[in-house]
Amino acid sequence: MTRRRLSIGSFIPSSSRIDTTNSSTMADSGTKGESLHRELKRGGERKYYIPLESDPEIFTELVRNLGVEGFEFQDIMSLDPEMLEFVPRPVLALILVYPLEDDDTTQEEAEKDKPMYDGKGEDEPVVWFAQTIGNACGLYAILHALSNAIDRSKIRSGSALDDLLTKAIPLAPRERALALESSDAIQSAHTAAANKGISAVPEAEVITHHHYICFTKSPKNGRVYELNGASKGPIDTGVIAAGDLLSGGALDLVREYIKRTPDNVGFSLMGLVSSS
């Protein structure tokens, strides 16, 4: 299986891609207090989902299954300004899949002195879920995009996502993570989409080596956040995007990930846009 490479300056031709994410290979969050992701992971038996194929049609299928119409994911093939002109605008959120390097301690160093996030309720700048489900970071990235980048009125009442947010937003991170993990409706929505990929469907507990994260603006303060379920919480990047997620410094956040391993072909990028 080949993977489409995202480049900073050149057009990348179409080829199939698959999310090869395994949360068991994610970097440790540090010695001074670990992430909730790792803490709950150590608790014994844990749930695994089938990894999502990294394909905008599959991601859009899951968006529909969760209860959201009128939005879709589009491939972003290059960060070259001329190529970005072909991407529908506005781009409301970005989902980046990147390779996990065995010796990469970037996240660990960045978070070693950071306390675990404890936000909850309607005053949070963003809605964030700690990842406790193995091989499901594609789902977490989609949830982070939909929970923050679109108006709640666009989510169908009584849908899987509507029910999850109603239950989860008032909860602290630990209880919120477990509310997601226990949602049969979310699991069914994910499984239906995961089984529609063109690639052979892998086992749920397959060992994989890539990870999805989301970048989106806070609906409260307009700042761009990096939302990664394996981190200790949402990361305020300090970027204020005057326009959409292809404007200003937001794309520089993606470029920084690519620069860490510039010879690795395991990057790809999708944007959440209106389909109407």
Separation CA 87–CA 106 (nearest Å): 30
Computed over every residue of the chain, the mean pLDDT equals: 83
What three-state secondary structure class fits 272? Answer: strand
Q: Per-residue pLDDT tens for 136-195?
A: 999 999 999 999 999 999 999 999 999 999 999 999 999 999 999 999 999 999 999 999
Question: Which residue pairs, CB below 8 angstroms and at least 24 apart, start in 100-103?
Answer: 100/25, 100/26, 100/27, 100/209, 100/210, 100/211, 101/260, 101/261, 101/264, 102/25
Looking up tokens 């989609």 gives 142
Average pLDDT over residues 26-31: 30
Q: Does residue 241 contact residue 217 with C-beta atoms inside 8 Å?
A: yes
Compute the Cα dihedral for 188, 194, 200, 203 and give only its sign: negative
Average pLDDT over residues 108-134: 90
Q: How confident is the model at residue 212 (pLDDT cuts 50, 70, 90)?
A: very high
Give the residue ranges of DSSP H helices in 47-111.
56-66, 81-84, 106-111
What is the model's pLDDT at position 104? 54
Strand 71-75 to strand 235-240: parallel, antiparallel, or no bridges (unpaired)?
unpaired
CATH (one of 1.10.150.390, 3.40.50.300, 3.40.532.10, 3.40.640.10) for 23-274: 3.40.532.10
Q: Does residue 64 contact residue 188 with C-beta atoms inside 8 Å?
A: no
Q: Write the DSSP assignment of 152-180 as a string of letters.
A: GGGBPTTSHHHHHHHHHTTS-HHHHHHHH
Domains of the chain by residue range: 23-274
pLDDT at residue 39 greater than cutoff 70: no
| pTM summary value | 0.84
* Nearest in space to 79 (alpha carbons), one of 138, 132, 8: 8
Q: Does residue 191 contact residue 52 with C-beta atoms inside 8 Å?
A: no
Separation CA 124–CA 147 (nearest Å): 12
pLDDT at residue 117 greater than cutoff 50: yes
Instruction: Please write down the HEC assignment for all residues of 10-58.
Output: CCCCCCCCCCCECHHHCCCCCCCCCCHHHHHHCCCCCCECCCCCCCHHH
Helix (H), strand (E) at residue 224: strand 223-227
Q: Per-residue pLDDT tens for 60-99?
A: 999 999 999 999 999 999 999 999 999 999 999 999 999 8
